A = this chain, B = another copy of it.
C-alpha cells in the first residue's frame, strides 16, 4: 500500500505520462451554482465545458479518470495551472500537500475508504481551488461526494449560499470523515486480538495484530500531512478562503487531529499487545517446560532403577545383583522409588514450580 510512482531519472520536469491502468477517456462533469440557480451536466470535451464557465458563479469541474493527458493539458492551460502541478495530479503516489500559486491553491489529499467489496482503498484526490472554481481529479468515481452534490441540489445547509472556498471545504470534509469507519474497524480488530491474547495466543491473532499495525502505519502516513494542509488553510491570508469558511475548516482540522490522536493511541495499543503476545508466549512456554521437567525429572531416574533390575547378570555369580533374591527386595524397590519421588516433590515445591 506504499505506492512508488516515478519517472526515469533525468526525465524533463512536468512530463505528463497517462496513469497506467487508467481509463483512456475521463468523465468530465460540471456543477455550476449560485444561491438561486444550479446547473449540472456531463461533457465529452473540455472545450464544450469551457464555454459554459461563468465567473459569477461557483464552477465545480470534476474529472474522473487520469488517462487522457491531452485533456489535462487543456485544463491546465485554461486555468493557468503550473505544469508541475498537473504532473502531480497524474503521479498518484503523492504525499498529501498544499501548494500556493498566484491565484489558486493546489491540494493533494488522500481518500481512505472501504470500497464496495469491503476492501480498504487509498486514492488520491487532487483539488484546485480558485476564486470561482473548484477543480477535482480522481481516478475512480467514488461516491464520497454524492452527499455533497445532493446538498447542492437541495440547496440545504450553507452549501449554495457560499463560494468556491466552502465547496472545497465540503469536499475535503467528506474525505476526512471517510476515515472514521476505517478507524472503527481497526479498533474492533484490536479489541478482538486483545481478548484472544489474554486467553490463548494463536498464530491468527498474531496475523491480525500485524495487519492492524500495518494499516495504522498507512493511515498515519496519510493523516499527518493532511493536518498540515488544514493548518495551512485556517491560517491562510491570500483571501481565497473566507473568514466564515475558516471556522468550518477549523472543524476539519479538529477532526484530523482527533484521527491522528486515535491512530497514535492505537499504535501504542498494538505495541503493547505485541509485548503481551511475547510475554504470554513466554509464560506458556515456561509453564509447559515446567510440566515437562517435573515429569521427566521424576520418572527418568526411576526408569533407570527399573532398568537396572531388569538386567540379566548371571546371578549364579555370588556378587551379581543379590538384591533380586532378597525376600523383601521388591518392597525395598518401591520404598526407594516413593522416597525418591517425595524428595523430588519437595525440591520442586522449594523451587516454586508446583
Contacts and interface: CB of A to CB of B under 8 A. Distances in A.
Interface stretch (A43-51, A52-60, A202-210): A202-210
A272 B180 CA distance: 24
Contacts of A308: 306
A345 interface: no
Interface stretch (A4-12, A18-26, A31-39): A4-12
Given A9-B178, A12-B151, A147-B10, A217 B328 contact: no
A316 to B, nearest CB: 8
A104 B313 CA distance: 98
Nearest to A151: B12
Given A288-B286, A292-B293, A312 B310 contact: yes
Interface of A is mostly: helix
Given A200-B352, A299-B301, A313-B324, A6 B180 contact: yes
29 contacts: A6-B180, A6-B181, A9-B113, A9-B175, A9-B180, A10-B144, A10-B174, A11-B147, A11-B177, A12-B159, A13-B157, A13-B251, A14-B157, A84-B248, A210-B272, A217-B265, A217-B272, A221-B265, A278-B282, A281-B286, A295-B296, A306-B311, A309-B311, A309-B312, A311-B312, A311-B333, A312-B324, A313-B333, A319-B327
Interface of A: 2, 4, 6-14, 82, 84, 87-88, 93-95, 97, 99, 113, 144-148, 150-151, 156-159, 170, 173-178, 180-181, 183-184, 187, 198, 200-201, 203, 206-207, 210, 213-214, 217-218, 221, 247-248, 250-251, 254, 257-258, 261-262, 265-266, 268-269, 272, 274-293, 295-297, 299-304, 306-314, 317-321, 324-331, 333, 351-353
6 closest A-B pairs by beta carbon, nearest first, are A10-B147, A306-B307, A6-B180, A12-B157, A9-B177, A309-B311
